[in-house]
């Protein structure tokens, strides 16, 4: 593996251990909270095609904001994103989702409409399933058109419900399929 001009960190939140990776352009990847620091680090590093440098101090403000977010005390996670991994429809979807305010949510159909592809709700779900920066690109804020949770980036739906709850969103938490 090659070294890269990127850095990563692993840190604790009220939901578990998270990991972040950034390049000089911004955040490139994140890992949803895991049970251990080792698990979060492994999941992050297994997705990155090069060896980043561990640098906890470079992420202090973002770490603090994410820790506050999981306590319901920070609504906006503001940071630069390195979009080089994304293109086309997926990029349009993730940019729409990035703008959904905390405490709010949109349906897969609404996101499809906002991307200019109104009949692409299932494709929205696929784009969100491969979101490499969950929480920062808040794919948990996209639900079924009937208000059901839909899916969630390979994580249990209970985490999606918990994230929406900590943000103050009022949502049905049944485990039905997407729209």
> Each residue of 93-120: pLDDT tens digit?
999 999 999 999 999 999 999 999 999 9
Angle between helices 121-129 and 88-98 (to 10 degrees): 80
Task: Answer with the residue of higher pLDDT: 172 or 154.
Answer: 154
Candidate ranges 38-42, 45-49, 153-157; pick with highest mean pLDDT: 38-42
Q: Is 49 within 8 Å of 101 (Cβ atoms)?
A: no
Q: Where in the chain is the domain with CATH 1.10.10.10?
A: 88-167
Tokens for 129? 């399933």
Burial class (CB in 10 A: 0-12, 13-18, 19+), 177: exposed
Top-confidence range, 54-68, 98-112, 158-172: 98-112
Comparing 26-30, 35-39, 159-163, the range with the smallest average pLDDT is 159-163
Q: Which CATH architecture has domain 88-167?
A: Orthogonal Bundle (1.10)
Q: Which residues are catalytic?
A: 139
- Model confidence at 3, in pLDDT bands (50, 70, 90)? low
Confirm if 145 and 138 have CB atoms less than 8 A apart: no
pLDDT at position 111:
98
State how far the Cα of 132 lies from the Cα of 112, in Å rounded to an integer: 19
Q: What is the pLDDT of residue 172?
A: 57
Q: Where in the chain is the domain with CATH 3.30.160?
A: 7-71
Q: Is residue 4 over pLDDT 80?
A: no
Mean pLDDT calculated for residue range 48-68: 87
Poorest-pLDDT segment among 54-63, 108-117, 144-153: 144-153
Looking at every residue in the chain, the average pLDDT score rounds to 89
Q: Strand, coil or helix: what is 176?
A: coil
pLDDT(153) > 90: no
Distance CA(143)–CA(104), nearest Å, equals 10
Say how far apart CA 130 and CA 90 lie, in whole Å.
9
Contacts with 134 (C-beta within 8 Å, 6 or more apart), sequence order? 30, 31, 32, 140, 153, 155
7-71 in CATH: which number? 3.30.160
């Amino acid at each position: 593996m090659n070294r890269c001009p990127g850095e990563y960190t692993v840190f604790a939140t009220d939901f578990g251990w998270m990991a972040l990776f950034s390049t000089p352009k911004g955040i490139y990847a994140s890992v949803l909270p895991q049970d251990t620091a080792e698990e979060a680090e492994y999941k992050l590093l297994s997705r990155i095609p090069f060896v980043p440098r561990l640098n906890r101090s470079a992420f202090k403000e973002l770490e603090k904001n994410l820790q506050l977010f999981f306590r319901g005390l920070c609504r906006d996670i503001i940071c630069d994103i390195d979009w080089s991994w994304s293109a086309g429809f997926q990029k349009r979807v993730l940019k729409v989702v990035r703008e959904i305010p905390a405490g709010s949510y949109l349906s897969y159909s609404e996101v499809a409409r906002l991307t200019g592809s109104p009949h692409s709700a299932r494709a929205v779900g696929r784009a969100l399933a491969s979101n490499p920066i969950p929480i920062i690109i808040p794919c948990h804020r996209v639900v079924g058109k009937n208000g059901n949770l839909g899916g969630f980036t390979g994580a249990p739906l209970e985490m999606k419900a918990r994230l929406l709850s900590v943000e103050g969103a009022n949502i049905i938490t049944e485990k039905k399929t997407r729209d």
